[in-house]
Amino acid sequence: MKERVLQWLRGSHNSVRFRFLGLPKYWLTYLFQYRLRGRSWIEFYGDRLDGFVDIEKPLPEGYAARGEVFFAYIRKHDLEPHHRFLDYGCGFLRTALPVIRHLTEGRYVGVDISAQRIARGRRYLRSNGIEDDAYEVHVVEDCKLRELEGQRFDFVWAMSVINHMPEEDIQIMLRALRPLMAPGGRFLFVFNEGETTRRWRMKDWWYPVSDVRRWCEEAGFGFEILPDYEEPEGYTRMAQLTVPPAQSNAAKTALIR
């Protein structure tokens, strides 16, 4: 009986304590220390992520190993050594390790809203023989990607990022990313599919596929759902956005005629 009561109180949350103490505390902090002061969701969430990082603590073995799983999927979708690669939401740089080893030196770029995660990730890469000058990372405070101005990327990857972003930020990011994509480039990302837009535990969003498709196409991307994605962590869809390949002068002339 007691367990059933606790289960009812916990609902779909991690614990009763989180549901009735932790979650309300996060909402009040966001409202009074961020939103009412004109600060953004990204600033709040970045600070929250920073607060969970122990710089000295090694990454859990299973967590770090997921980077290799993600890399295998990326390779399956044709990441080549000469490609310029953007890891959007690079976090602890667990995917960066195999990607950097695969790419020609200097072609990996990562961005994240958590400075502490990036700092911990740099330690992780150094411990695995990757020096700081072998790649490029940026801490970002919004979705406008001004830190990457002038660069062009062949492959962009975002694992567990879009599902933590409100609609407005997603659309800003897509519009900012499109000019940074090389002809023929692609962007793979996971998101949670829902029949309607839904927010859960403050930081998780579900969106209808039709809405995600519309945002991507309005930003100038081709959109498709990849059917080969299998993810035990609960993200329900993998989307691939594509950019048309460059046309030769002859092809452009033929089209005009």
Residues 69 and 112 occupy one common structural domain: yes
Residues 15 and 79 occupy one common structural domain: no
Residues 29 and 76 occupy one common structural domain: no
Cα–Cα distance between 80 and 87 in angstroms, integer? 15
Residues 32 and 89 occupy one common structural domain: no
Task: Please report the pLDDT score of residue 236 as a whole number.
Answer: 82
Q: Is residue 247 part of a domain?
A: no
Q: What is the full DSSP assignment across 86-132?
A: EEET-TT-TTHHHHHHHSPTT-EEEEES-HHHHHHHHHHHHHTT--G
Residues 117 and 222 occupy one common structural domain: yes
Q: What is the pLDDT of residues 38-76, one digit of tens each?
A: 999 999 999 999 999 998 899 999 999 999 999 999 999
Task: Please report the pLDDT score of residue 247 as a whole number.
Answer: 58
Residues 127 and 29 occupy one common structural domain: no
- For residue 245, what is the DSSP state? P
Which residue type is seen at 221?
Answer: F
Residues 35 and 145 occupy one common structural domain: no
Residues 14 and 67 occupy one common structural domain: no
Residues 184 and 86 occupy one common structural domain: yes
Residue 83, exposed/middle/buried by CB under 10 A (0-12, 13-18, 19+)?
buried
Q: Do the beta carbons of residue 112 and residue 139 sit within 8 Å?
A: yes
Cα–Cα distance between 73 and 59 in angstroms, integer? 21
Task: Please report the pLDDT score of residue 10 as a whole number.
Answer: 65
Q: What is the CATH number of the domain that holds 222?
A: 3.40.50.150
Task: Please report the pLDDT score of residue 45 as a whole number.
Answer: 97
Q: Is residue 190 part of a domain?
A: yes
Q: Is residue 48 part of a domain?
A: no
Q: Is residue 215 part of a domain?
A: yes
Q: Do the beta carbons of residue 209 and residue 225 sit within 8 Å?
A: yes
Q: Is residue 19 part of a domain?
A: yes
When divided into structural domains, the chain yields a total of 2
Q: Is residue 253 part of a domain?
A: no
Residues 131 and 218 occupy one common structural domain: yes
Which residues form the domain of 233?
A: 61-242
Residue 72, exposed/middle/buried by CB under 10 A (0-12, 13-18, 19+)?
exposed
Cα–Cα distance between 51 and 26 in angstroms, integer? 13
Q: Do the beta carbons of residue 86 and residue 157 sit within 8 Å?
A: yes
Task: Please report the pLDDT score of residue 5 as a whole number.
Answer: 53
Q: Is residue 131 part of a domain?
A: yes
Task: Please report the pLDDT score of residue 219 as a whole number.
Answer: 98
Task: Please report the pLDDT score of residue 48 as a whole number.
Answer: 96
Q: What is the pLDDT of residues 7-36, one digit of tens each?
A: 655 667 678 787 879 899 999 999 999 999
Residues 30 and 151 occupy one common structural domain: no
Residues 142 and 209 occupy one common structural domain: yes
pLDDT one digit per residue (tens) for the chain, 257 residues: 667 656 655 667 678 787 879 899 999 999 999 999 999 999 999 999 999 999 889 999 999 999 999 999 999 999 999 999 999 999 999 999 999 999 999 999 999 999 999 999 999 999 999 999 999 999 999 999 999 999 999 999 999 999 999 999 999 999 999 999 999 999 999 999 999 999 999 999 999 999 999 999 999 999 999 999 987 555 689 999 999 998 544 444 443 44
Q: Is residue 248 part of a domain?
A: no
